[in-house]
Amino acid sequence: MTELHLSGGDLGCGTMRVRCNLAQASAPVEVNYDNGRGWKTTQYQCADTSHTIDGLREIAARLAAREVEIDADDFDCDCEEE
């Protein structure tokens, strides 16, 4: 399971985590917005990440941009692998 932690930048003081089993094509990409509601399955699967951490980072940025209502092309934050 690969997990990313996103913070700072356009997320402000908020944080979020995104995780996926990059070895399994049908594994869901899950997100935790650190709002006390736990992990939620997204519409994305591992296949959408091209089975790479860079692909997972790209999807994580899209999810974060949508959360703060910023165009994904303009979104910026820190992203670290946990």
Domain map (residue ranges) of the chain? 2-74
Closest CA to 40 of 28, 27, 26, 30: 30
Question: Is the pLDDT confidence value at 75 over 80?
Answer: yes
Evaluate whether 45 touches 25 at the Cβ level (below 8 Å). yes
- Say what the pTM is: 0.90
Evaluate whether 40 touches 29 at the Cβ level (below 8 Å). no
Instruction: Give the model's pLDDT for residue 61.
Output: 94
Instruction: Give the model's pLDDT for residue 21.
Output: 97
Model confidence pLDDT, tens digit, residues 61-70 = 999 999 889 9
Model confidence pLDDT, tens digit, residues 1-59 = 999 999 999 988 889 999 999 999 899 999 998 777 899 999 999 999 999 999 999 99
